[in-house]
Structure 1
C-alpha cells in the first residue's frame, strides 16, 4: 500500500499541526494529493513495471450497448470490428469465459443485496443500453472505433416504461433487502380520522428519475501478474465487496484477487454494488491473459441505475388548533423485471410527528428498465419531501406558522411503537436554525414581499435519516520510531475518511496528527463495510478507537514489565497517553516516551486489532436517527418562473462531530444537491424508445456555481453513546433530506403557487 497511500502525510490543521482533538476543524490530509494530481483513481493506474513480466501492455475495453429496450439478440456481426488494426477480441455472451452459476452466485451476493444485473449472460435484452459486447484493443481509440462497427441483430418485443403509465398494477415488494424495513402496521384508524377531522389536506406528489453523476467515471483497471494474480483498481464504495463479487463469479480464491480503491471521485450510492465495467474487465483479462482497463463514458453512466421514479399520495388531518389527527402516506415506485428494488419511502411519516392514527403503504411497479439504485438518502430524499410539503400546506389550512405546527406535533417518542430515541435534539435544531435565519420576521401570508421583479419567500422543513452502525475490524501498529499506522478496508468517497480516522487515532493515542496515518482502500486490510448509509464514522471510527485502546493497554503492560518501570504499582486507569508519552495522570513528570518504550522492550512494532460489533440487544431498544431543520429563502421571478435560492440555514443534530470542517463540507454539499433535486435534476425518457435521452451533462441539468448562494451549517450539540462508542452519528445524507421541501414551501410563500413535484421547473411556477 505504500506505493499508493504514503504512510505519513503532513496535515494542514487550521490550528496548526500537532496534537488535535475530535470536534475541531482539520483540513483534509489527502487534500494536497488531490489538488496536485498525485492522487490516482481507478482509470489512472497502469501496468508499468509489470510489462516485462507479462510481456504485454495494458489493453483497453469499450462497451457496446443495446439499441433496443426489450427482446433478444439474434446474431452479431463483428467482422468489421475485428478487422481494425489493434483490435484483439470482441467478447459477447457467445464466447465469454466460463463462470460459476449466475443464479447461485449473483443473487443476494453483494451489498446491498438483491439480484444484480448479469452482463453478457445470455441473449435476453431487459433494458435499453444494456451492455451486449466488449471490444478489446491495444489502444482506447482503436477499441472505441471498433465498438461503433459492431452490428447486433435483434428480435424486438414491446416494452413498458414510465411509472405513471402503469400505476394501476402495483404489487407489494417480494423478498428481503438488508436495510429495508417494510411499512409498519396501521396505527389507529387513519381514514376514518381523516374523514372526521375539521382540517384536512390531500395531495399527489411526483419525483422524476435522477441519475448519479459523480465526477469520476466508473472504471476498472485489472492488472494481471505473471502468476495470474489480479490486482484490480475499481471505482467502488467497498474494495472487499468488489473482491467478493469477482472471486465468487469467476471461481477465484481470495489469494488470486486484490481490489484497491485508494481514491474515489464521488459515488453517493452508485458504487455500493459493483457496476458492469468490473466483471467485463475481469472477463477480458481472464480470457486474454492480459491486463485490461474498462472505463464507462458519461453517457454510459446513465445506463446502470438511478433514483427511482416515485408517485406518492399523502393525506393529513388536524384539529382546528393544529393537532395532527391522521397521517396516511402511500407510495408507488418503479423497479426492474429482474429484481424488486426497495427503499424506505413512507416510514418516515410514522416517525417524525406525534399522531394517533397513521397508515403507511409502499408498492412497486415492474418495468422494462434497469434496476434503480441507492442514491444519497434513498427513499428519504423524496419521501420526506412529500410529508414536509404536506405539513406546510396544512399549516396554512389551520392558520399556524409552519414551524409552530411542527413544534405542536413534536414526537417525544417514536409514534408507531413508543420507543425512546437514543438521542434527539430536533427542538434545538428548530430553535438554533430559526434564530440564525431570522424566522420570527417571516410574514404568515404568501405574496407578502416583493423586491424588484422578484417575489421573496421563506420556507422550512424537517429532515430525518437513520443513524446506522455496522461491523468492522481495525488494526493499529505503533512503530519503533513513534509512527502509528491504523488500517481498515474502509473507503473515502470524498467525505474525509482519511482525515477523520487519523484524527480519532491521534487523539486516542495522544500523538501529533502528522505521526499518524490511516490506510484504507485495499481488500487485504481488516474487514470494513461498504461506505454507505452515513455509517462509516460510527462503524470504522469506533473500530479504530477500539484498536487504539487495546494498543494502549498492551503498551502499558510492556511499560510495567520493564526492569526500571515508572509504573510498578500503577493501574491502567492511572496513566494517560499525551504528546507521544505514557505517563501518570497525577505525577505527569513520571512516564516514558513511546519510542523509548519500544526500544527498551526490544521490539520494532506493537500491533493490536479490534472487532467492532454493534450491541444490537441494546440498540434495538431505541430509535436511532439524525435530525435536521432546514430554512431557506427563495426569490422568484413570476414572469419567467425562475427561482433563486439565496439563503439556506441547515441545523443538524448528528451526535458528536469528529471534524467540523469535513462534516460541514458534507452538509453544505448535500444542500447543493438538494437545491439541484428541487430545481434542476430529472432524466427524461422517450417512452417510444424506452431510452433516457438527456444522458449527458449538457442536457441533464445540475446546480452550478451561479445557482448557489449562502449556505450556513449549524451543528447542534449531541452525544449518542447508543449509536457508537464515539458518540458520533452520520452526517452525509441528512444534509439533503428536507432541502427540496423547504424550497418548495418557500416558493409557495413567495408566489402562492403550490408545486408538489420535483424538479420545480419554470413552467410549473408560471402555470
Structure 2
C-alpha cells in the first residue's frame, strides 16, 4: 500500500465507530488486576525460578576477583551466573551499552551477576554473599569537564547545518539574545519496572518481557546470545509505561535468558527500582548555547543552536538542536551537535528525545527575546512563522498551522488577561503567572504490517506485533477494524505484542 496521492473519501470517514466514546477494551483487565504483565505471567511456563541481579559497586574499572562459592551454597540457590560461566555474550549493534559486565566495568551498577533461587528472597539474600574485588579506573562523568573534548558525532541526520551568514547577521542585529542553558541527566520511572521471564526449549528462547518494540527486541536478543532471530520469540502483551526506555532490550531480559540457560529452567527477573537508572537508558545531560538576532519588529534574522551531550563510546548525542532547524524562519542559521565520551549508562530516547530539552532551551530564549523587544511572546512567534523549511526554502510544508494553534490556544487560555510584569497577579498566598511555548515533533515513518482474519461467525481477528504501552492500542485498532469492515466493535479481537505476529 502506497500513500502517494492526496487522501480522498474512504471507509474510515464514515465515523460510525471511530471517534465514538467507547470504554477501553483493556479497562476491565487493568482495573481488576488481570491484565497479563510480564512478571506476572505465571500461566505461560511452569517451574519458574527467581533471578536477582547484582550490579557493579564501582563506576569504572575491572573485576580482579569474583567468588560465588558462598552464594552457590546458600539455601534455595539453583545457579549463579557471571561472565565466567555465561558463555559468549555479544553486544547488539543497535545498543550502546554492554548488558552484562565482566571483566570490564563500563558504568556504575552494570549487571555483574545473577543469582537464581527457588524464591525471590533467597535469590536476593544470596547476591549479598558474592565477593567481587575490583581494580578501579578514573572515570569521566561530568559533561562540563568533558565538553572541550566533545567531537562531531555520526548521526542519521547531519550533526551540523548552516544557511546564510550567521556571524555577520547576528553581529548586525539590533536586538540579541546569547544564552547558555543546561539540562540534567534524567531517568525513566515507569509504573511497571523492567521485567522478564525467559524459557529455553530445545535451543530456542521465549521471553515474556516489558518492551515497546518487539521486532527490535527479537533481533537484538538474537545478536547478544548468538542465535538466529527465528529461534527467539518475544511476547509483550501489556507494557506499563515505556516512554522510550523500553524501545531496546535491557539487562533484565538478557540476564534472565543467560540464567535460564545455565539453570536449566525458566527464570523471572525484575529490576528493583534503584537498579533502573543505571541498568536502562536515560536522557543525557545537555549544555546548549542559543543565539538569536532580531530586528526591532521581532523578525528573526539569525538563529544559532549548539548542543553538547555525552554517552558511552559508540553512542549517540541528544539531538537537541533538531527542532530549531524547522520551527522559526530566519535567513541566517547554524545548528550543531557535539558528543563527549562519558562513563555513564547509555543515553537514549526518553519521552520526546531531543525535543524536550532542545525546545525548552529555544523557547526560553524566545521568551527572553520577547522581553527585550517588549513584545508579546505569542505575537513574536506568529511573526516568525514559516510555510517553508527554513533550511531548504524550496521545500514547502504540505500543511502547517502553527499560527492557528497559537491563536486558538491563547484565546481559550485567556491570554489577553496576562500581565507581562512579574508578581502582579495573586490568588491568596500564591503568585500566579501565565506563559506559553511552541512545540512540535517530526514525523517518523517505518514499514508496518498487520494480519486480519474473519471466521465463520463474523469475528474479525487483528494480529500485529505492535505493543500497547498504556495508550489504548487495543481499543483504537479494534475501532479501526470495525469501521473499515462494517462489523460491531464487539466482533473484533485484537492480538498485540508477539513476535509471531507481523512486524
Q: TM-score, normalised by structure 1?
A: 0.62
Aligned with 1:115 (options 73, 90, 96): 96
After TM superposition, list the pairs within 5 Å mapping 1:228-307 onto structure 2: 228-303=203-278, 304-307=280-283
Q: Matched residue of 2:134: which SS?
A: strand
CA distance, structure 2, for counterparts of residue 315 and residue 246 of structure 1: 44
- CA-CA distance at 1:422 after TM superposition: 2.9
Aligned residues: CA RMSD:
1.7
Q: Indicate which of 218, 224, 232 corresponds to 2:194.
A: 218
Alpha-carbon shift at residue 184 of structure 1 (Å): 4.7
Deviations 1:436-470 (A, max 9, x none): 10111222333332333332211000011012221
Say which of 411, 416, 419 aligns to 2:391.
Answer: 416
In the alignment, what sits opposite 1:127? 107
| Partner Cα distance (1:444, 1:248) in 2 | 56
3-state SS of 1:360 partner: strand
Could you say which residue in structure 1 is the equivalent of 2:344? 369
Indicate which of 303, 327, 344 corresponds to 2:319: 344
Q: Residues of 2 paired with 1:327 and 1:413: CA distance?
A: 16
Local SS of the residue matching 1:465: coil
For each residue in 1:234-280, what CA deviation from the matched residue of structure 2 results, as whole angstroms up to 9, or x when unmatched?
11112222222223333334453321000110001011110011111
From 21, 39, 46, the equivalent of 2:35 is: 39
Query: Which of 285, 299, 302 is the aligned partner of 1:323?
Result: 299
- 2:63 corresponds in structure 1 to 73
Aligned residue in 2 for 1:165? 145
Q: CA deviation at 1:47?
A: 6.0
Look up the SS of the partner of 2:392 in the other structure: coil
How far apart in 1 are the matches of 2:148 and 2:366? 27
Partner Cα separation in structure 2 for residue 399 and residue 256 of structure 1: 64
* Shift in alpha-carbon separation, 1:409–1:255, aligned structure 2, 3 A: closer
Contact 1:47 1:291 in 2 (8 A): no
Cα deviation for residue 63 of structure 1 reads 0.6
CA contact under 8 A between 2:191 and 2:240: conserved in structure 1?
A: yes
Residues 220 and 233, structure 1, Cα contact 8 Å, conserved in 2: yes
Choose the corresponding residue for 1:425, options 387, 401, 416: 401
Q: 1:279 to 1:457 in 2, by over 3 A?
A: same
Q: Which of 482, 503, 509 is the aligned partner of 2:458?
A: 482
- Greater Cα offset, 27-36 or 237-246: 237-246
Residue in structure 1 matched with residue 10 of structure 2 by the alignment: none
Question: Equivalent residues in 2 for 1:71-220 (5 A)?
Answer: 71-98=61-88, 102=90, 106-108=91-93, 113-120=94-101, 122-174=102-154, 176=155, 180-220=156-196
Superposition pairs for residues 446-465 of structure 1, below 5 Å? Answer: 446-465=422-441
SS in 2 for 1:75: strand
For residue 185 of structure 1, report the CA deviation from its aligned partner. Answer: 2.5
Q: Is the 8 A contact 1:219 1:278 kept in 2?
A: yes
Gaps of 5+ in 2: 1-14
- The reply to whether residue 25 of structure 1 matches residue 6 of structure 2 is no
Aligned-partner Cα distance in 2 for 1:218–1:520: 19
Q: Deviations over 1:346-383 (max 9, x none)?
A: 12112111111111111011111111120010011010
* Cα distance change, pair 252–366 in 1 and its aligned pair in 2 (3 A): closer
- TM superposition score normalised by structure 2: 0.93
Q: Counterpart in 2 of 1:584? A: none
C-alpha distance in 2 between matches for 1:526 and 1:32: 27
Specify the alignment match of 2:5 in structure 1.
Answer: none
| Deviation by residue 1:454-491 (Cα, 9 ceiling, x = unmatched) | 32211000011012221111111111101111111111
Partner of 2:49: 59
CA distance in 2, matches of 1:517, 1:265: 21
Aligned-pair CA distance for 1:123:
0.5
Contact 2:77 2:116 in 1 (8 A): yes
User: Does the Cα contact within 8 Å between 1:47 and 1:58 map onto a contact in 2?
Assistant: no
Q: Deviations over 1:284-323 (max 9, x none)?
A: 1122221111111001111122110001111111111111
Change (3 A) 1:335 1:256: closer
Match of 1:737 in 2: none
Alignment partners' CA distance in 2, 1:286 and 1:66: 22
Aligned residues: 487
2: CA distance, partners of 1:508 / 1:255: 33
Secondary structure at 1:443 match in 2: coil
Deviation digits for residues 631-690 of structure 1, max 9, x if unmatched? Answer: xxxxxxxxxxxxxxxxxxxxxxxxxxxxxxxxxxxxxxxxxxxxxxxxxxxxxxxxxxxx
Aligned positions of 1:656-675 closer than 5 A: none
* Runs of at least 4 residues off by over 4 Å: none
Aligned equivalents of 1:215 and 1:399: distance in 2? 44
8 Å Cα contact 1:184-1:347 kept in structure 2: no
1:191–1:328 Cα contact (<8 Å) kept:
no
Runs of 5+ consecutive residues of structure 1 not aligned to the other structure? 1-18, 52-56, 528-767
Structural mapping, 1:510-525, within 5 Å: 510-525=486-501
1:143-166 deviations in Å (ceiling 9; x for gaps): 000001111000111112121222
**Structure label with greater radius of gyration:** 1
1:473 and 2:449 equivalent?
A: yes
Counterpart among 483, 493, 514 of residue 469 in structure 2 = 493
Deviations 1:388-437 (A, max 9, x none): 11111111111110000111111111111021113212222112111110
Match for residue 442 of structure 1?
Answer: 418
Secondary structure class of the residue paired with 1:46: coil
Q: What SS class does the counterpart of residue 186 from structure 1 fall into?
A: strand
Partners of 1:45 and 1:461 in 2: CA distance? 43
Check the 8 A contact 1:29/1:499 in 2, yes or no. Answer: yes
Q: Distance between the aligned counterparts of 2:63 and 2:379, measured in 1? A: 60
Distance 1:475 1:144 in 2: 43
Partner of 1:387: 362
The answer as to whether partners of 1:199 and 1:319 remain within 8 angstroms in 2 is yes
- Secondary structure of the corresponding residue to residue 191 of structure 1: helix
2:288 matches 1:312: yes
Partners of 1:107 and 1:483 lie apart in 2 by: 40
Distance in 2 of aligned mates of 1:62 and 1:505: 42
CA contact (8 A) 2:195 2:268 kept: yes
